[in-house]
Amino acid sequence: MSARNVTVIPATKSSIRRINPIVNKRRVAGYARVSTDKDEQFTSYEAQVDYYTQFIKSHADWEFVKVYTDEGISGLGTRKRDGFNEMIQDALSGALDLIVTKSVSRFARNTVDSLVTIRKLKEKGVEVYFEKENIYSLDGKGELLLTIMSSLAQEESRSISENVTWGQRKRFSDGKVSLPYKQFLGYERGENKDDPPVVNPEQAVIVRRIYRTFMEGKTAGAIAKEFTAEGIPTPAGKSKWQASTINSILQNEKYRGSALLQKCFTTDFLTKKQKINKGEVPQYYIEHSHEAIIDPMEWDAVQEEIRRRKQIGRAYSGTSVFSAKLVCGDCGGWYGHKTWHSTDKYRTTVWRCNQKYSDGKCRCGTPAITEEEIKIKFLKVFNSIISSKKPYVSSCLIAKKAITDTTEIDTEMNNLLCEMEVVAGLTKKCIEENSTTAQNQEEYTARYNGYVDIYETLKTRYDGLAAERENKQKKAKAIDRFIHTVKSREGLLTEFDARLWLTTVEKVTITDDGKMLFRFFDGTEICG
């Protein structure tokens, strides 16, 4: 084997360079960010802007461009940081040579965002200087140090997030209620931080109107259009109302003076992504946590009406309080709104079974009825209840006890829970034995599936009982509301009350002879 021959090729480029008497100044920008928008942070924000302006101008070989800023924005991500994104765009387009910022954590607390951004800038020859850590990103050691520092900053963010979460849950468990007051209609912040929400009288009028109008038969969409037309501002201060905003107000328990806390939770501290809490983390329900705007009985009645409208779906039109309340005694179909003689002076509005002539033939013997007839019969029937108020209320209370008692259901549900825990333990033991000891897999699978079948059977029965228990509880609330309505009523009705109709009448069945069987929410049926 021949000896290895190495030939040195001498450098041909001279290391001696001509000195350029003209020094090109580096175009430098600063980046300032404070993570909250609280008043006490404002001076910090202003101080950062002034500091970096003076700092850059103090270097003779630097040319000041501007200080990019983000106020009240978290550093965890870069997507919503307008000032940061503008700065990076300017740098990548060649307008900057150097960016000066306070620290790695001010630049970004997300390791990936930080490094990706710095590498993009590096490709364009743009350097970043982190003053606190004394790191220049184009320095040989810069990227390694940045990786370490960014990771530390990210862990700091994780720690802060966990501490904030713990603090929030501690507040929840202590029953302390806080609202997004800038976008919450009807309440404002108390004098002190931990004071309960205080009713805003002017906004409370709007909230009460929403509830009242809904219980007079209007849909959320119709209320939204009405408010938009009147120029009433939304909770967020916008001019156009959405049906979803009305629905949210109608279903928010805060208006009844209660609070369900931790409806949502953060799943990722980096992305701040939130998820509706479906049992993954604890929730806290506080009764009488603050002053109510809507009476709890009325609030419950609204929830029942919302459920009723969802169940009947398109059958509810929202054009009348009688919609989806009148039932045909022959076929069980809904009565619908009809107009007779629509083009002449005999124009009349009636309600008739929607299925009566569905196949071209008369299918039902039930008659058409006018709204005036319905109102008169309602007044007569409801006044018969009012005139014998005391014995009627006593009968309701006895019926409530019998109809809504859940003692047997509760006992069986507790027994099922115990059985489910035993089966779950046997299943776990079965899995552990299979993972540590060699077994016949067919036998193992059969045993495992047997436990699963037993558990699912128990769970199905448990869920059925839970639904039955919930229905009984809803029925109990309905009876309580009805009793409250009857007891609080002074004197006989002299004119039709739409809200009273909606909150007391479950349905009215029309018979062949034109009679009306009123079924109230307490279960009472009276023929009128």
DSSP 285-336: EETT-S--SS-HHHHHHHHHHHHHHHHHGGG--SS-TTTTTEEETTT-PBEE
Contact by Cβ (8 Å): 120, 92: yes
pLDDT computed for residue 288 by the predictor: 78
How far is it, in rounded angstroms, from Cα 71 to Cα 36? 7
**DSSP single-letter state for residue 162:** H
Q: Which residue has the tokens 């802007």?
A: 49
Pinpoint the alpha helices (H) of 313-406: 371-387, 389-404
Q: Which residue has the tokens 């805060």?
A: 254
Inform me whether the pLDDT recorded for 292 exceeds 50: yes
Partnered with residue 508 across adjacent β-strands are 326, 518
Q: How confident is the model at residue 281 (pLDDT cuts 50, 70, 90)?
A: low
Inform me whether the pLDDT recorded for 119 exceeds 90: no
pLDDT computed for residue 215 by the predictor: 86
Inform me whether the pLDDT recorded for 270 exceeds 80: no
Give the model confidence (pLDDT) of 338-387 as tens digits.
Answer: 877 667 777 788 898 888 877 666 678 899 899 899 999 999 999 988 88
Contact by Cβ (8 Å): 30, 67: yes
Q: Could you give the C-alpha distances from 515 to 130, 377, 383, 476, 511, in angstroms and in order? A: 85, 9, 17, 29, 5
Q: Which residue from 510, 519, 501 is spatially nearest to 332, judged by alpha carbons?
A: 510
Give the model confidence (pLDDT) of 17-59 as tens digits.
Answer: 444 444 578 999 999 877 654 444 445 677 888 888 999 999 9
For the residues 177-185, what does the mean pLDDT come to? 78
Partnered with residue 187 across adjacent β-strands are 199
Sign of CA dihedral 490, 492, 494, 497: positive
Contact by Cβ (8 Å): 308, 315: no
How far is it, in rounded angstroms, from Cα 115 to Cα 142? 11
Question: Within 10 Å of residue 401's Cβ, how many Cβ atoms?
Answer: 11
Give the model confidence (pLDDT) of 394-440 as tens digits.
Answer: 888 887 888 888 999 999 999 999 999 999 999 999 888 888 888 88
Inform me whether the pLDDT recorded for 163 exceeds 90: no
Region of residue 244 (phi > 0: left; psi between -120 and 50: alpha; otherwise: beta)? alpha
pLDDT computed for residue 135 by the predictor: 81
pLDDT computed for residue 195 by the predictor: 78
Question: Which SS3 state, helix, strand or coil, does residue 472 take?
Answer: helix
pLDDT computed for residue 228 by the predictor: 95
Q: How confident is the model at residue 86 (pLDDT cuts 50, 70, 90)?
A: very high
Helix (H) or strand (E) holding 260: strand 259-261
0.85 surpassed by pTM:
no
Question: Within 10 Å of residue 501's Cβ, how many Cβ atoms?
Answer: 20
More confident residue, 101 or 164: 101
